[in-house]
Amino acid sequence: MSSPASGSAIASSLRIASRRSQLALVQTHWVRDELAKAHPGLEISIEAMATQGDKILDVALAKIGDKGLFTKELEAQMLLDRADIAVHSLKDLPTNLPEGLMLGCITERENPADALVVHEKHRDQTLASLPEGSVVGTSSLRRLAQLRHHYPQLIFKDVRGNVITRLEKLDAGEYDCLILAAAGLGRLGLGDRIHELIDASISLHAVGQGALGIECRLGDQAVLEQIKVLEHQPTARRCLAERAFLRQLEGGCQVPIGVNTAFEGDELVLTGMVASLYGLRLIRDQSRGPQDDPEAIGLALAHSLRAQGAGEILEEIFATVRPEA
């Protein structure tokens, strides 16, 4: 990530663009409060808005496009100089950003695992022991493919809306369980709803899951100087490897691509997965290398999976879920 030029003038105000969902605002308020602590006297304002992904709730995400569903409107505010930064769940931020914008900061990651949340009647069950025919709610093709691969006896049903809305649908009996991000539940103060953390051997998480990405204008050194205090280098290295892997596979957030990253001594280890829509084919491999060159690790893993047939799987998926013109 770019370093601010020495002697950069630091602005006295900062405008943040955010989605208006409850989780997005919790995340944005955390960024605001941390920046306020780091920069006393800095005037910070928040402009909250609905994105395309927030507005269209009756269509599966994969059917309405997979790039920038939750980010384009926020990015437009920065390009029009109506906002200085945008706060995203990093998993929602495409790996290729609009011209003139950059990923300026990655915050410390919360637990990136997927979590099982169950209806009360299944409180004594685990994911592996749910009765045959149990209805699992998820809007993620990544989760869907991996869980279908391991638990073909379960029924999977799309679920949309914010986290609270999804939990209300679960509690009303529309689903037997939901698969949600543990980090989001924790940030909303709903960690007690986590029934089981799903092991990485079953479900690799989304690229960037659990971290926040702060996007800003390319070359805006004053803003970079302000936000760099929130950068968490270990998280950034893990997420840069993951994003390079996804970028090389040319996959958006709505394709069955999963990852897991860990540090082993001086090395960064990246595990990646590409699966077919119904989980019948699942290719998984691992790459490792020096921590200070995370993108090379991601690129190497992408090339390895392509050599094993990942490209053909993704082409089939794009042809199936690509939105109509």
Cβ atoms within 10 Å of 286's Cβ, excluding its own: 12
- pLDDT at position 86 is 97
Please report the pLDDT score of residue 1 as a whole number: 46
What pTM was estimated for this model as a whole? 0.89
So what's the pLDDT on residue 10? 63
**pLDDT tens across the length of the chain (325 residues):** 433 343 445 678 999 999 988 999 999 999 999 999 999 999 999 999 876 554 444 444 454 455 565 688 899 999 999 999 999 999 989 999 999 999 999 999 999 999 999 999 999 999 999 999 999 999 898 999 999 999 999 999 999 888 999 999 999 999 999 999 999 999 999 999 999 999 999 999 999 999 999 999 999 999 999 999 999 999 999 999 999 999 999 765 568 999 999 999 999 999 999 999 888 999 999 999 999 999 999 999 999 999 999 999 988 887 776 544 3
State the number of CA atoms in the 13 A half-sphere of 107 facing the CB: 24
Nearest by Cα to 28 from 57, 51, 48, 53: 48
Neighbours of 157 (CB within 10 A): 14
Q: Rounded CA gap, 168 and 154, in Å? A: 21
DSSP string, 123-183: TT--TTTSPTT-EEE---HHHHHHHHHH-TTSEEE---S-HHHHHHHHHTTS-SEEEEEHH
**Phi and psi for 14 in degrees, rounded to 5?**
-145, 130
Dump the DSSP string for 234-253: HHHHHHHHHHHHHHHHT--T
Task: Check 66, 84, 92, 220 and give the catalytic one.
Answer: 92
* Helices 294-307 and 310-321, axial angle in degrees (round to 10): 90
CB 115 within 8 A of CB 187: no
Give yes or no: 92 in active site. Answer: yes
Token readout for 132 is: 């045959």
Closest CA to 50 of 169, 141, 213, 161: 161
Domains and CATH numbers, the chain: 1-109+211-231 (3.40.190.10), 114-197 (3.40.190.10), 233-325 (3.30.160.40)
